[in-house]
Amino acid sequence: MATERKHAWGPRKDNVLIGKSIQRIDGVGKASGAAKFSADINTKGTLFAKLLTCKLGHAKVKSLDAEPAKKIPGVKGVHLFKKVGDEIRWDGELIVAVAAETEDQAEDGVKAIKVEYETLEHFVDEADLAGGEKAGRNKPAGENKKGDVEAALKTAKVVHKGHYGIATISHMCLEPHGSHCEFAGDQLTAHLSTQNVSGTPGQFAEGMLMDAKNVTVIGNYEGGGFGSKFAIGEWGLACAKMAKELGRPVRLMLDRATELKVAGTRPSGFIDVTIAADADGKIVAWDSHHWGTAGIGGGGVALGQIPYVYDFENQSRRQTGIGCNVGPNQAWRAPPHPQACALSQVAIDDIAAKLGKDSYDVFLKNLPSTGAKAGVYEEEMKIAAKEIDWKAKWHPHGQSPDKGPIKRGLGMAMHKWGGGPGACNCNVKVHPDGSVETFLGSQDLGTGTRTVIAIVLAETFGLPLSSVKVNLGSSKYPNSAGSGGSITVGGVSGAHRRAAQDALWKIFDLVAEKYKVSADNLAAKGGNILNGKDVVCTWKQACGLVGPMPLEVAGKGPVQDGLTNNSVGGVQMVDLSVDTETGLIRIHKFVSVQDCGLIIDELTAKSQVLGGLIMGITYALSEERIMDNKTGRYINADLQNYKLARIGDIGELVAIMYQPDSEYDRGVVGLGEPPVISPGAAISNAVANATGVRVPVLPLTPKRVLDALKGGRA
Amino acid sequence: MRNRDDRSQPPTEGPANQAAKLPSATPGGGPNKPPPAAAVNRRDFLKGSSVAVAATAMATAAQEAAAADDKQVTIVAGAKPVKVTLNINGKATDVTVEPRTTLLDCLRNNLNLTGCKDVCDTTNCGACTVIIDGKATYACSKLAVELQGKKITTVEGLMQGQNVDQVISAFVKHDATQCGFCTPGFVVAVKAFVDANPGANLDQIRKGLGGNICRCGTYDGIAAAALELTKGKKAADRLIAPATAIASACCHGSTCSKGGA
């Protein structure tokens, strides 16, 4: 061949599918209920398992008798997670699982179990630094200094001291964690609700003391994970063990309360910060100490992400983790950026107010300290400001022109994320009849992974989407990374473009030989192989040249070949009202301007952004884990008292994809995490703008708003 | 006392909609839901549990639950299974269930109609929404044995072979699904709402669909799908409440390639 063949995306203007708004290919299956989730698997003979959990914050098992459960009609077996003498470290710890013919009978079994506990001292007040110290729960989690903070504070024009915070939230996956496990001989098939199809067979094998080759994990659909579904969990292992022991399939999904308590939380953060700026609004010093909890081990919001996005010349940062008797954290969409953003960018907004400057100008003024993304941020700020009409609507904090009790305000924040490609192996088959399919052990969490893959293959081969079948969600397919950290879209699109181009070049060579044309000039478009503008043959005819068996090409990634990239920014602005009599906040308009490299499917990309905004509105306004200090319990672990936004709560959302050619040229970058980062700070800043008062801790519930208003100006 | 088990009112007057009419229709005020009502869960009562969490405040709930845990819970096993005939998606369906079995468990576990999902099992989230005699109903709020002679439509009834209901098509068009777990319940809720409220505007849609929860954040697409089905009114008429309304008919904002309003 004359020309060097190099993996690359085609010219943007030539794309038929890539970058367009394409409906997701599994949409009908999901909307019609035909899509089977792990929680839906109900093969013949399936037993249903229910859990006994301990509802104390800290305790020891004094006595445990699960035998009465076995006498309950329908109960077939029990699995003990704890034994007498074991420590219970937080509300919701699993004690016993009961498997029975029906869910009701399993619940009967759970209720028949006799258990006694010795109550131990607990600590659950994650906001209480002094209390944590007194209880011996505080653990230093690092500190970091650069420049000369003290000197900078002395020469600064203004200095602001602030306290801010953001509560713990739970992942609240609507499909709880769990699985359906079934043995056929020594072969385990686990339908697992997971973000990690390829990575979980080994977890079952290790726990079951069996060979991983005998484990198949299936995860065709997953009802939400958000970072919490990488491990099979002790409940997953219990499900497999009971299936093995009882010789029956077992389905064990966590109940709602247990899902909230133990299956994943996002750490809290609280911060005392001193921030200083010069007369021009340039921030010259940052001095902070933040704390919070990620669970019994302390932990919390990583030090390195404070102050968020900005990196000031003079900085001093310190972190303390508070070990609390609360369920363990798991990665929650963009860890720990939403908290870091909410703890940092509120202080920037407050010092802007203290300087008497427009918040926009201070965020802008300090962009050079954000590094390589400064130019993108500036462009995104302009676009967002225009969309929300910032210059016309902004007023100094607390000087809303509204006469009545309802005050309107604007706020902004900005974020960053990596989103580089994850590992992906795929096996692409081009059948002699021209149809195409691919196999990979990845998963579609609802982000549109299947659709993205189909688009990449169809675009590359010049076919309609209907000619392509995407097979994912089985651990028997080629390994693919777990889906977390926005690495999936880059991973799968890069690997599939490579495989598809490799396959296409082989087909071009066959066509060139058969039809005596140069392979260099061939293109696959509209179901034909073209030589310039001339049709050489149909796609099907070309594929027939491969022989009786399909052409099979392996795709790999990540590869540093320009198909994928990493690093995104993003700016969000919100326009809202605060009812100063009731404390209610109402979103009018929420604008997101998001860069993410080359967009494969604009429709599902925008859905990721809109979903991020809605999750962001939820944790900014209503969602939080509430621990009862007296009992050590998670007291709102249900869908009634754990407040998620509903369809009437979200206002107008505008998702603007920042897509100059320079972004297309970067290649594909992940998008799942970034849009959920900024809402907390943006909404808090808008409330401060509306009322002139900083409501220090998220979520901004009516009570917190009213308390702050009673306390006067921040 | 609000009966938590009863969602059998017409869609426009169901608890979800009552909730949406409360002044606190923002997340800050408790997302579109009334405060916890003191209520004995009928199903738990029938199931034989003495642990009926009745609480007007969450702290109270914790204390009462703690007290309940301390008691030896009396087991009252369910009565013997009985055979009932249910009219599901136009077909007479025989099923043998215990009297305490909810419609949700019956559909999912006995009949393998798994479109309705078990998410909260406490009539809060709408993931198990079905239509009973034309009314959107939480399947977790009904016992299977009480539904003989009623006409039950599940999400599976909205797609017979290649015949796909327009609600499903509208959901796909507006990308009103992400993980998809809440989606079937929302599809059924939209179906019931649209049938009962042809011509509803966006504000009414947002109030009428307040009984369902999505975690991924697909509300924008769902509202757009529902609006397409109600055909809306004139664009201007949709903006009856500028504070809450989406300014355009399209879920994807002013830059959407499908155009705005």
Q: What is the DSSP string of A224-259?
A: --TT--SS-HHHHHHHHHHHHHHTS-EEEE--HHHH
What number of other Cβ atoms are within 10 A of residue A187's Cβ? 12
DSSP assignment of B48-74, as one string? T-S-----SSHHHHHHHHHHHHHSPPP
Task: Please name the residue that has the structure tokens 């590094």.
Answer: A371
Query: Which residue segments constitute the domains of chain A, with CATH numbers given?
Result: 12-35+421-557 (3.30.365.10), 38-120+177-253 (3.90.1170.50), 336-419+566-711 (3.30.365.10)
In this prediction, residues A198-216 reach a mean pLDDT of 98
**pLDDT, tens only, A311-363:** 999 999 999 999 999 999 999 999 999 999 999 999 999 999 999 999 999 99
Maximal CA-CA distance, chain B: 63
Burial class (CB in 10 A: 0-12, 13-18, 19+), A391: exposed
Q: Which of residues 232-261 of A touch B (CB under 8 A)?
A: 253, 255-256
| Cα distance between residue B126 and residue B137, in whole Å | 8
Task: Please name the residue that has the structure tokens 């929420």.
Answer: A590
In this prediction, residue B77 carries a pLDDT of 53
Structure-block tokens of residue A146: 């650069």
The answer to whether the Cβ–Cβ distance between A256 and B121 falls below 8 Å is yes
In this prediction, residues A251-274 reach a mean pLDDT of 98
In this prediction, residue B79 carries a pLDDT of 78
pLDDT band with cut points at 50, 70 and 90 for residue B19: very low
pLDDT band with cut points at 50, 70 and 90 for residue A566: very high
Enumerate the residues of chain B whose CB falls inside 8 A of the CB of residue A224: 179, 181, 215-216
**How far is A301 from chain B, CA to nearest CA, in Å?**
23
Structure-block tokens of residue A242: 């009971």
| Chain centroid offset of residue A268 CA | 16
By C-alpha distance, the chain B residue nearest A174 is B119
The verdict on A452 touching B (C-beta cutoff 8 Å) is: no
In this prediction, residue B160 carries a pLDDT of 85
In this prediction, residue A3 carries a pLDDT of 72
In this prediction, residues B33-39 reach a mean pLDDT of 38
Task: Decide if pLDDT at A565 tops 90.
Answer: yes
What number of other Cβ atoms are within 10 A of residue A328's Cβ? 16
A119: enclosing H helix or E strand? strand A114-119
**How far is A583 from chain B, CA to nearest CA, in Å?**
8
**How far is B149 from chain A, CA to nearest CA, in Å?**
24
Is the alpha carbon torsion for A237, A242, A248, A254 positive or negative? negative
In this prediction, residue B244 carries a pLDDT of 29
**How far is B226 from chain A, CA to nearest CA, in Å?**
12
Complex confidence, ipTM: 0.97
What number of other Cβ atoms are within 10 A of residue A125's Cβ? 18
Question: Residue B247 is nearest to which of A36, A72, A652, comparing CB atoms?
Answer: A652
What number of other Cβ atoms are within 10 A of residue B74's Cβ? 9
Task: Decide if pLDDT at B103 tops 90.
Answer: yes
| Cα distance between residue A639 and residue B215, in whole Å | 11
Task: Decide if pLDDT at B46 tops 50.
Answer: no
SS3 content of chain B, % helix, strand, coil (to 5): 35, 10, 50
**SS3 call for A661:** helix
The verdict on A382 touching B (C-beta cutoff 8 Å) is: no
- If you compute the radius of gyration of chain B from its CA atoms, what whole number of angstroms results? 20
DSSP assignment of A420-483, as one string? PPPPEEEEEEE-TTS-EEEEEB---SSS-HHHHHHHHHHHHHT--GGGEEEEESBTTSSBB--S
In this prediction, residues A90-100 reach a mean pLDDT of 98
pLDDT band with cut points at 50, 70 and 90 for residue B78: low
**SS3 call for A146:** strand
- Among A2-11, B72-81, B194-203, where is mean pLDDT lowest? B72-81
Return contacts of A507-513, CB within 8 angstroms, 24+ apart.
Answer: A507/A430, A507/A542, A507/A543, A507/A545, A507/A546, A507/A551, A509/A1, A510/A542, A510/A545, A510/A546, A511/A536, A511/A537, A511/A542, A511/A545
Structure-block tokens of residue A372: 């390589």
Task: Please name the residue that has the structure tokens 């308390």.
Answer: A707
Spatial contact of A17 and A458, defined as CB atoms under 8 Å apart? yes
Task: Please name the residue that has the structure tokens 């009978």.
Answer: A105
Task: Decide if pLDDT at A202 tops 50.
Answer: yes
In this prediction, residue A127 carries a pLDDT of 97
Name the pairing type of β-strands A315-322 and A534-538.
Answer: unpaired
Q: Which of A585, A617, A614 has the alpha carbon at shortest distance from A703? A: A585
The answer to whether the Cβ–Cβ distance between A446 and B178 falls below 8 Å is yes
pLDDT band with cut points at 50, 70 and 90 for residue B65: low
Enumerate the residues of chain B whose CB falls inside 8 A of the CB of residue A226: 215
Is the alpha carbon torsion for B186, A168, B32, A334 positive or negative? negative
The verdict on A582 touching B (C-beta cutoff 8 Å) is: yes
In this prediction, residue B41 carries a pLDDT of 43
Tell how many helices (H) and how many strands (E) occur in chain A: 19, 31
Question: Residue B180 is nearest to which of A35, A614, A654, comparing CB atoms?
Answer: A35
Checking phi first, is residue A566 left (phi over 0); if not, alpha (psi -120 to 50) or beta?
beta
**How far is A458 from chain B, CA to nearest CA, in Å?**
20
Task: Decide if pLDDT at B39 tops 80.
Answer: no
Task: Decide if pLDDT at B241 tops 50.
Answer: no
pLDDT band with cut points at 50, 70 and 90 for residue B161: confident
In this prediction, residue B17 carries a pLDDT of 36
The answer to whether the Cβ–Cβ distance between A42 and B112 falls below 8 Å is yes
Chains A, B: CB contacts within 8 A come to 318
The verdict on A638 touching B (C-beta cutoff 8 Å) is: yes
In this prediction, residue B231 carries a pLDDT of 80
In this prediction, residues B4-23 reach a mean pLDDT of 35
Task: Decide if pLDDT at B246 tops 90.
Answer: no
Percent of chain B scoring above 90 in pLDDT: 56
Is the alpha carbon torsion for B150, A34, B226, A176 positive or negative? positive
By C-alpha distance, the chain A residue nearest B180 is A30
What is the crossing angle of helices B166-173 and B219-230, to 10°? Answer: 130
In this prediction, residues A234-263 reach a mean pLDDT of 98
CB burial readout A288-318, b (16+ within 10 A) else e: bbbbbbbbbebbbbbbebbbbbbebebbbbb
**pLDDT, tens only, A387-438:** 999 999 999 999 999 999 999 999 999 999 999 999 999 999 999 999 999 9
DSSP for residue B108:
I
Task: Decide if pLDDT at B25 tops 70.
Answer: no
| Cα distance between residue B45 and residue B47, in whole Å | 5
Residues 6+ apart with CB under 8 A from A459: A10, A15, A16, A17, A18
DSSP for residue B146:
G
**SS3 call for A579:** strand
In this prediction, residues A535-539 reach a mean pLDDT of 98
**pLDDT, tens only, A26-64:** 999 999 999 999 999 999 999 999 999 999 999 999 999
Backbone angles phi, psi at B12, to 5 degrees: -75, -15
Spatial contact of A31 and B185, defined as CB atoms under 8 Å apart? no
Percent of chain A scoring above 90 in pLDDT: 99
Spatial contact of A413 and A350, defined as CB atoms under 8 Å apart? no
The verdict on A585 touching B (C-beta cutoff 8 Å) is: yes
Spatial contact of A627 and A126, defined as CB atoms under 8 Å apart? yes
SS3 content of chain A, % helix, strand, coil (to 5): 30, 25, 40
CB burial readout A482-517, b (16+ within 10 A) else e: bbbbbbbbbbbbbbbbbbbbbbbebbbebbbeeeeb
Structure-block tokens of residue B117: 């999902």
| Cα distance between residue A294 and residue A459, in whole Å | 44
**pTM for the full model?**
0.91
Burial class (CB in 10 A: 0-12, 13-18, 19+), B166: middle
By C-alpha distance, the chain B residue nearest A173 is B215
Q: What average pLDDT is seen over chain A?
A: 97
| Cα distance between residue B68 and residue B65, in whole Å | 5
Question: Residue A655 is nearest to which of B65, B246, B253, comparing CB atoms?
Answer: B253
**SS3 call for A507:** helix
What number of other Cβ atoms are within 10 A of residue A134's Cβ? 11
- Among A305-309, B32-36, B242-246, where is mean pLDDT lowest? B242-246
| Cα distance between residue B78 and residue B80, in whole Å | 6
Backbone angles phi, psi at A137, to 5 degrees: -100, -10
In this prediction, residue B37 carries a pLDDT of 38
Helices (H), A82-167: 103-112, 129-134, 149-155
- Among A175-189, A568-582, B61-75, B117-131, where is mean pLDDT lowest? B61-75
**pLDDT, tens only, A432-470:** 999 999 999 999 999 999 999 999 999 999 999 999 999
What's the CA dihedral at A456, A462, A464, A469 to 10 degrees?
-50
By C-alpha distance, the chain A residue nearest B249 is A652
Burial class (CB in 10 A: 0-12, 13-18, 19+), A530: middle
Task: Decide if pLDDT at A256 tops 70.
Answer: yes
